[in-house]
Amino acid sequence: MTESPEDLRKWRLPRGRHGLPRELVTRSQRERLLAAVVRVTATKGYAATTVADILEDAGVGRESFYELFDDKRDCMLAAHTILIEDLEARVQSAFAEPGDWASRMRAALAATLEWFAADPVAARFTLIELGSVGTVFRTRFQATFDSFVQMLEDGLAEGGPDPELAQATRLAVSGVIAHLYEEIVLGRAAELAARLPDLTYELLVPYLGEEAALEQRRQATAG
């Protein structure tokens, strides 16, 4: 077997006695189910997705599913956690790179757009379809929103400019999310990285003013 652990979901266990360690089998089944729930939910929507749909896509039996997850909601939330943690780690890593505050903001925005553009299916699952889960998703969404706001506000406290508008950081993050949501709903997630110049300007103009925000837009275009 040549696949890396990250690619376990791409293969199927041989029928009958295969001699693979139980830990490896369980990890394979879990990863395949998580990948499947993302694909199926993004295609069919939360309400229409059934456990049977997930099992068929993953190639995993029902008994194995219920050994790992309580129900489809539990499986979906587990996948959502993994995706959001990966997104946050990438954005925070980009923001932590050396440079002035504006360039770090631009880098964090670029990382966000690239993450959603890289996998439109995961993008739709993460930001659109899981909204149907209910209160638990809204709580998670608020926590993620707050973490991004806090990251940017911490950056301001470390030497960033004073915003020209009150509540500028929350408005800036809300604006980016609104653009993400619209593009994903319209099926244009793969094109999000191309929106970096315009969104850089919109994100930074409350902090930098017109001239400096336009310069950041030019740098984003050149980059």
Asked if 73 and 133 count as a contact pair (C-beta separation under 8 A), the reply is yes
Q: Tens of pLDDT along 42-52? A: 999 999 999 99
Percent of the chain exceeding pLDDT 70 equals: 88
| pLDDT tens string 123-134 | 999 999 888 877
pLDDT at residue 7, rounded to an integer = 42
Q: Is the Cβ–Cβ distance between 196 and 205 less than 8 Å?
A: no
DSSP secondary structure string for all residues of 133-165: G-HHHHHHHHHHHHHHHHHHHHHHHTTPPPPSS
CB of 129 closer than 8 Å to CB of 41: yes
For 69-80, the pLDDT digits (tens) are 999 999 999 999
Domain limits of the chain? Answer: 5-69, 74-222
Cα separation values, 25 from 2, 3, 63, Å:
15, 14, 14
CA–centroid distance for 117 within its chain: 10
pTM of the model: 0.84
Task: Write down the CATH number for the domain with range 74-222.
Answer: 1.10.357.10
pLDDT of 14 higher than 70: no
Distance CA 212, CA 119 (A): 32
Average pLDDT of the chain is 86
**Strands (DSSP E) found in the chain:** none
Kindly indicate the confidence band of residue 22, based on its pLDDT and cuts at 50, 70 and 90.
low
Distance of CA 119 to the CA centre of its chain: 9
Q: Cα–Cα distance between 76 and 173 in angstroms, integer?
A: 25
